[in-house]
Amino acid sequence: MIEDCLALFRNTNPDLVADQKDWIGAEFLADREADTVIVVARWQQAESYRRYAESDKFRKAMKEFGQFFEAPPEVRIAERLWRMGDIA
């Protein structure tokens, strides 16, 4: 199921965010033992994601992904303070 979910993500995500000016990028991670996926999406501003998540376009896409979820996805918004490779 993880491979199918990844395929749907890869096929839909570029078009979903194409018009989002604050979109930076995303990573699709998997814990195969737990049969869990984590998507780390990066936005310039958290509020941009919040507005996008309320759109019909996003909600329609999430319904498609629902076939892979046992429960509604958990969304957390966090501030990146530092990452390896950053100077200082």
Averaged over successive runs of 10 residues, the pLDDT of the chain (88 residues) comes to 96 95 96 95 96 95 93 91 76
The structure tokens listed for 82 are: 């530092």
The amino acid at 84: M
Exposure on the CB side of residue 77, measured as CA atoms within 13 A: 9
- The pTM for the full model equals 0.84
pLDDT of residue 59: 94
- What domains appear along the chain, each with residue ranges and CATH number? 2-68 (3.30.70.100)
Phi, psi angle pair for 52, to nearest 5°:
-60, -40
At 30 the pLDDT is 97
Task: Please report the pLDDT score of residue 67 as a whole number.
Answer: 94
What pLDDT does 88 receive?
A: 57
